[in-house]
Structures are given as C-alpha cells and as structure tokens.
C-alpha cells in the first residue's frame, strides 16, 4: 500500500516535495515491517541531480524519523529513500568482543542476510539490500512520476548513482555499502561506532578494500558525542584511508571552507549524538554532498 501527501511547511520549495510511504510487505510478502513504512521523497519542481540518497537510520529508529532531512535533500534535487530495516540491536554489542571480526559479521548479516553473526538474526529476505532492491522495483511500477528506473537496471540498483547516508548505526551501514559497491559518495552522521575497545583499534572491515574511492567518504560528528569522538574519528580515518587527522570545526549557517572530510561541531545541546542530523546544519550537508569528488 502506498500513501502520499504533500509535506506541509512554510517553505515554498519544501511544499512541492512529494512524500510516499510504502509498507515493506507490499514490496514482497516475505519482507516484514520492523518499525514503520519506508519513506520516499523527491521534488519534480527542481532540477534533478540524478542521484538517489539511501538514508539509513540508527538503532531502533523509524524510517519516518528522517522525513524532515529527506525533504531537505529532495529540495536540493535528490531522490531519497529512508529504509525500514532490522536495527533493534545496537552496534556497540561488539565493542568489547575479543573477536576482531565481530563488527564485520554484524554488518554483513544485517546488510546481506548471510547467517554469519551471533549478535543479530536477519534472513536474506529481510536484509537491507533485499529491502532496498524490492522497494525500487515496486516504485518503478507504482510511481512512474518518480522516474525510479534511472536508479535500477538489470535487476540491480545503479550503484554509481546512489549515495549511501546514515546516522549512528546507519553511518556504519552506509560505510559498509561503500566498501561493497562503487557509490557516488558516502555520508556518515555520528558514526560509525565500530571500535574494539579491548583491542584498542577500529573494526577490521573499515580497513578492507573499498569499491568506493575513500575520497568520496564524508563524516559529520559532535565533539562530545557519548560514543567517543576519538573512536569515531579513528573509524572514519580507516574508511577514508587517512594517515593523519582530517577534521574541521563547523557552525550552523556558516559556509564550510577547505576540503576536509571529517566535519565536527561543538554546539551546546542535550543531544550531541543527534546534532548532526539537525536542520540547523543544512550548510554542512550541502558541503558533504557538493565537495568535488566525482572525478576520483
């Protein structure tokens, strides 16, 4: 079942955003609804960027929780999908593991459905990749105005037109997808959390071969994130193949200068972990999306 409505907002551009909600089981009966419907957004009234942002929420998060952020991306000319997926187990379940591949297996099972982790239980039908695949197929048939066939061909997503983006647990999934497929870019908000505390090093998968060039990875963090910004930066540096720290402090509404790939804010807030997906940082999101990497 698909429902749609125009997003009510005082912003005239956002008023044109088309929002669709799609029940996961409507795309395939074997796919279960975890928290809420998938959320889809685009705006045919603005020039298309010909890119699809796959937004992956954090632990326990509902796809509908990123609707405001999705809508902003849509006003910039992006197609956006916020996916409902199996995210009830927090990533830090592996933080004190003596198995250096714990994070690798955790993410592999959630994303592909391969039965490799003892921390989660996700079958192939309910894997993140299968959910995304069937949603695209469904949208091609049910929403011709969305022109979804630009992002799906030969039974697969057109990965080089897709941007993976995620918050918290979703940041790591976005990075993992960047390792698997050659994406347009990877945006990680408040994460990943894949640091092995007892072994004092990032999870192994972050150092592995990457289909997406490391220069297309971007991260946005808060200085006082309760998940430890030093561990997050160490994770991000592995994903970006950086030999030295590449950070810049940013502020709401202030243009981001330079070419840093790890952005950090220190705004006073009761929720530093959630600050990176606050609408006050649209300026930072634009930088992450527009910093020139396409020829790399």
Give per-residue pLDDT as tens, 245-272. 999 999 999 999 999 999 999 999 999 9
Would you tell me the crossing angle of helices 169-180 and 102-112 to the nearest 10 degrees?
A: 80
**For residues 229 and 193, what is the distance between their CA atoms, to the nearest angstrom?**
9
Strand partners, 52: 79, 162
Q: Where are the domains of the chain?
A: 2-290
User: What predicted TM-score, i.e. pTM, was given to this entire model?
Assistant: 0.94
**For residues 185 and 159, what is the distance between their CA atoms, to the nearest angstrom?**
10
Give per-residue pLDDT as tens, 93-128. 999 998 999 999 999 999 999 999 999 999 999 999
CATH number for domain 2-290, candidates 3.90.110.10, 3.50.30.30, 1.10.10.10, 3.40.50.1820 = 3.40.50.1820
Q: Which of 215, 201, 221 is nearest to 264 (CA)?
A: 221
Give per-residue pLDDT as tens, 33-67. 999 999 999 999 999 999 999 999 999 999 999 99
């Amino acid at each position: 079942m698909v429902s749609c409505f125009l997003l009510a907002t005082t912003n005239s551009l956002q008023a044109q955003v088309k929002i669709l909600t799609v029940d996961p089981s409507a795309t395939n009966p074997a796919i279960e609804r975890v928290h809420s419907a998938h959320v889809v957004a685009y705006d045919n009234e603005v020039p298309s960027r010909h890119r699809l942002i796959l937004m992956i929420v954090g632990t326990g998060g509902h796809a509908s929780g990123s609707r405001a952020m999705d809508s902003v991306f849509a006003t910039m000319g992006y197609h956006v999908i916020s996916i409902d997926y199996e995210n009830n187990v927090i990533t830090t379940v592996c933080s004190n593991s003596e198995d250096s591949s714990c994070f690798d297996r955790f993410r592999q099972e959630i994303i592909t459905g391969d039965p490799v982790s003892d921390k989660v239980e996700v079958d192939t039908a309910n894997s993140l990749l299968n959910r995304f695949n069937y949603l695209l197929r469904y949208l091609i048939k049910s929403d011709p105005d969305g022109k979804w066939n630009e992002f799906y061909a030969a039974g697969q997503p057109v990965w080089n037109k897709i941007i993976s983006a995620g918050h918290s647990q979703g940041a790591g999934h976005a990075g993992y997808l960047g390792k698997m497929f050659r994406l347009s870019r990877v945006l990680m908000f408040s994460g990943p959390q894949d640091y092995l505390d007892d072994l004092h090093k990032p999870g192994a998968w972050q150092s592995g071969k990457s289909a997406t060039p490391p220069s297309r990875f971007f991260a946005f963090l808060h200085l006082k994130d309760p998940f430890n910004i030093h561990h997050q930066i160490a994770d991000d540096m592995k994903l970006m193949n950086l030999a030295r720290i590449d950070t810049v402090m940013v502020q709401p509404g202030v243009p981001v200068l330079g070419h840093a790939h790890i952005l950090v804010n220190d705004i006073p807030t009761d929720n530093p972990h959630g600050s990176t997906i606050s609408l006050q940082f649209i300026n930072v999101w634009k930088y992450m999306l527009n910093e020139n990497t396409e020829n790399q």
